[in-house]
Amino acid sequence: MSVTIYDIAREAGVSIATVSRVFNNSSSVSDKAKGKVLEIADRLGYHPQAMAQGLARKKSKLISAIVPVISNYFFMEVLEGIQNRLTELDYDLNFYNIKSTESIYNQVEYTLKRGMAEGYLIISVHFSEKEWSNLKKYDVPIVLIDEYSSDFDSVSVDSIEGAYNATQYFIQNGYNKISMISAVPNSKPSRDRILGYRRALEDAGQIVEESLIVTGNCLDRDGFTERNGYEAMQKILALDPMPDSIFCNSDIQAIGALKAMQDAGVQLPILGFDDIEFSEFFGLSTMRQPMREMGNMAVEKLLERINNREKGITHTVFSPELIIRTTSEPVNVVV
Amino acid sequence: MSVTIYDIAREAGVSIATVSRVFNNSSSVSDKAKGKVLEIADRLGYHPQAMAQGLARKKSKLISAIVPVISNYFFMEVLEGIQNRLTELDYDLNFYNIKSTESIYNQVEYTLKRGMAEGYLIISVHFSEKEWSNLKKYDVPIVLIDEYSSDFDSVSVDSIEGAYNATQYFIQNGYNKISMISAVPNSKPSRDRILGYRRALEDAGQIVEESLIVTGNCLDRDGFTERNGYEAMQKILALDPMPDSIFCNSDIQAIGALKAMQDAGVQLPILGFDDIEFSEFFGLSTMRQPMREMGNMAVEKLLERINNREKGITHTVFSPELIIRTTSEPVNVVV
DNA sequence: CTGAAAGCGCTTACAG
DNA sequence: CTGAAAGCGCTTACAG
């Protein structure tokens, strides 16, 4: 059996309270007692048990992250930011991958109810305002990442602004038949990016042609895949007349689009969204989302919320940053 | 304050034991009592608290995964396999990202000591046999993934065999100046793959030229990056005479290598290792590691171990599978 | 089928 | 600086 506070108290000839104290270095303990306890604890390989501490303290030092699917560059990088900040703060991270076979809402609710963590980070899951406010009743600290609800703190990127600026970049460079590769319509980021694209065109006095907004047939992961981008680009290439440039929903789709262009022997300027690790390598121009920073910031907010349940709800919105590399240039260098 | 078993017992006019029983559907409870408890629990939003259950049961329903760095395709896919199997089994997953700034051994040891989880999955971390056996003293269920120690259960892929077969593929197709892109020498998988490469050449009576085994200058992530592959390929292209084919340590490096070839306007047959999601899309021929399956299998083993601490230690080794797409062909189609 | 009670391993006022 | 004691929220023989 594992060694407990009792074992080491007995051996050291002190009370369990004293043992507990040396491991919490809370109130003062005589050097003598401390030394003895530490020595014995080390010899016996003792370590406080997280669950018991959690119960007694009524806090688990545990944060849960809930993501739709782990193997996606965006989540991965956000998660890395989260995890790094959390270890610095001596918190553990546990995470839940939403299963696509069951109701997302139920899964999130279930996780929240279990009450294992002190707080929750919910990434890229989209609910109606009604659903979000339903979740409020669990009265547990939550911060949303890449999503918005007036009921919870959130950190996200301004997709509309990003799409607007990306589109404007093309406009300012003289393009006037700008196509957009989008994703599934019920994806919030995708909708916002379409919105930004539209506004930029309208503000420039260009008309918005619905036929220029396309997505691929493969709708896995809401369409955020190379395959989707490849298919979307094939559709674009079949357009007559062809667009003169492409703003793409996500880098991963842009990479697929680049391949489609290459296979077709065509080169159109293209700009992505995200700036995943691959992008720099491929020379992909893009709107960068500061993913790790978002993860960090979300942790910060969550901890503040945990320490002060009453503070006002805040929403942090990062402005994405336009990164011009080669693919957005007139004669781009495809991979 | 959150509602407890006491609140609902009081309201239902039963003992806390009864309440507990309905939530464990262990022994029998009268339908009447059960109904009342359930109704009240639902109304009050009650749910058993994981930590208290953990303490009382002396098991946490929690498994920890320890990985060197989360944002890497290999880990991601393995993690996904793990997570999926775990939710099916109603276990939670929490994970630790090893920080590169501190001793890996200390970090692992610390995590083990905390004793929060019922078992641990340790992925791709390399220790000496001495270090591994040191860890044995914590007497906690552990299974290793992509790593080997005689002290613990493990699941991995036969890198030597994989490299052997990949190299042999080129040999059988008439190549006789096969180059290899490797990674840092202290990476076990890389070492094994070099070994397999060597043996295949030797068995075929070809001499092994050390100058043909190259890696890039960028050693982040042990060299498993596009950049490293790009740099390595540049070195290979500078060789005189040039090799006639390339076996590459990892798909991610192979993607970098493909780009280097393209930038140089050269096409040499190349074969990777891993079969990450990108690979199919790029037409990359490769030795597939069944990453998700490995994750699944590791979970299976860990649970068996948890339920039977005394069973014999086993090592499961998957044979990687040769996937021929286009890049290994004489005139390959680079992206 | 059900309750009283002990126990899981720790923390933390409280009193000294 | 230190101990006795209550409490964290649940589970589980034990007895009925």
Residue B54 Cα distances to A251, A305, B49, angstroms: 43, 26, 8
Query: Does B107 reside within a domain?
Result: yes
Among candidate residues A192, A79, A75, the one with its CA nearest the CA of residue A125:
A75
Per-residue pLDDT, B70: 62
Residue A276 Cα distances to A154, A229, A230, B255, B280, angstroms: 21, 15, 18, 15, 19
Rounded to the nearest integer, the mean pLDDT of chain A is 90
Which residues on B lie below 8 Å from A115 (Cβ)?
Answer: 2, 47, 49-50
pLDDT in tens, B33-87: 899 999 999 888 888 888 899 899 888 888 999 988 766 788 888 988 998 899 8
Range of the domain at B94: 62-158+291-319
Q: How far is A209 from chain B (nearest CA, A)?
A: 30
A118 and A207, same domain (yes or no): no
Give yes or no for CB of A284 within 7 Å of strand D: no
Strand D: positions under 7 A of a protein C-beta atom: 1-5, 7-13
Q: Could you tell me the pLDDT band of residue B99, with boundaries at 50, 70 and 90?
A: confident
Per-residue pLDDT, B1: 54
- According to the per-residue pLDDT averaged within each range, which of A177-186, A324-333, B23-32 is highest? A177-186
Which residues on B lie below 8 Å from A278 (Cβ)?
Answer: 226, 278
Question: Tell me, in Å, how far CA of B11 is from C1' of C2?
Answer: 16
Query: Does B285 reside within a domain?
Result: yes
Query: Does A335 reside within a domain?
Result: no
A297 Ramachandran zone, left/alpha/beta (phi>0; psi -120 to 50) = alpha
B81 and B148, same domain (yes or no): yes
User: Taking the CB of residue A173, how many other CB atoms lie within 10 A of it?
Assistant: 12
Query: Does B334 reside within a domain?
Result: no
Per-residue pLDDT, A70: 62
Closest alpha carbon to C1' of D6, residue: A56
Q: Which residues pair with B63 in a beta bridge?
A: B93, B119
CA A140, A144, A148, A154 dihedral sign is: positive
Which residues on A lie below 8 Å from B281 (Cβ)?
Answer: 226-227, 230, 256, 259
Query: Does A56 reside within a domain?
Result: no
pLDDT in tens, B189-202: 899 999 999 999 99
CATH classification of the domain holding A27: 1.10.260.40
Which residue from B54, B71, B77 is facing A51, i.e. has the nearest CB?
A: B54
Name which of B5, B63, B91, B94 to mutate to probe chain A: the one with the most chain A Cβ atoms within 10 A of its Cβ: B94
Query: Does A223 reside within a domain?
Result: yes
Which residue from B95, B114, B335 is facing A50, i.e. has the nearest CB?
A: B114
Which residue from B80, B87, B262 is facing A71, i.e. has the nearest CB?
A: B80
B118 and B196, same domain (yes or no): no
pLDDT in tens, A25-65: 666 788 888 999 999 988 888 888 888 998 998 888 889 99
A149 and A77, same domain (yes or no): yes
CATH classification of the domain holding A140: 3.40.50.2300
With beta carbons less than 8 A apart as the criterion, state whether B260 and B237 touch: yes
Rounded to the nearest integer, the mean pLDDT of chain B is 90
Structurally, chain B folds into a number of domains equal to: 3
Question: Tell me, in Å, how far CA of B31 is from C1' of C1?
Answer: 10
B138 and B260, same domain (yes or no): no
Interchain proximity A114–B50, CB inside 8 Å: yes
Among candidate residues B192, B213, B195, B193, the one with its CA nearest the CA of residue B203:
B195
With beta carbons less than 8 A apart as the criterion, state whether A253 and A223 touch: yes
Burial B261-295 (b: 16+ CB within 10 A, else e): bbeeeebbbbbbbbbbbbbbbbbbbbbbbbbbbbb
> Once rounded to an integer, what is the mean pLDDT over residues A179-202?
94
Interchain proximity A51–B47, CB inside 8 Å: no
B269 and B175, same domain (yes or no): yes
Give yes or no for CB of A26 within 7 Å of strand D: no
Question: Tell me, in Å, how far CA of B63 is from C1' of D14?
Answer: 33
Query: Does B326 reside within a domain?
Result: no
B44 and B99, same domain (yes or no): no
Query: Does B327 reside within a domain?
Result: no
> Once rounded to an integer, what is the mean pLDDT over residues B114-138?
88
A263 and A169, same domain (yes or no): yes
Interchain proximity B226–A278, CB inside 8 Å: yes
A186 and A203, same domain (yes or no): yes
A70 and A136, same domain (yes or no): yes
Tell me whether strands B178-181 and A213-214 are parallel, antiparallel or unpaired: unpaired
**Whose C1' is closest to the CA of B53: which nucleotide?**
D10
B239 Ramachandran zone, left/alpha/beta (phi>0; psi -120 to 50) = beta
pLDDT in tens, A300-321: 999 999 988 888 999 999 999 9
B113 and B76, same domain (yes or no): yes
A179 and A259, same domain (yes or no): yes
Interchain proximity B113–A45, CB inside 8 Å: yes
Closest alpha carbon to C1' of D5, residue: A17
**Whose C1' is closest to the CA of A15: which nucleotide?**
D3
Name which of B93, B116, B333 to mutate to probe chain A: the one with the most chain A Cβ atoms within 10 A of its Cβ: B116
User: Taking the CB of residue A88, how many other CB atoms lie within 10 A of it?
Assistant: 11
Which residue from B99, B278, B335 is facing A87, i.e. has the nearest CB?
A: B99
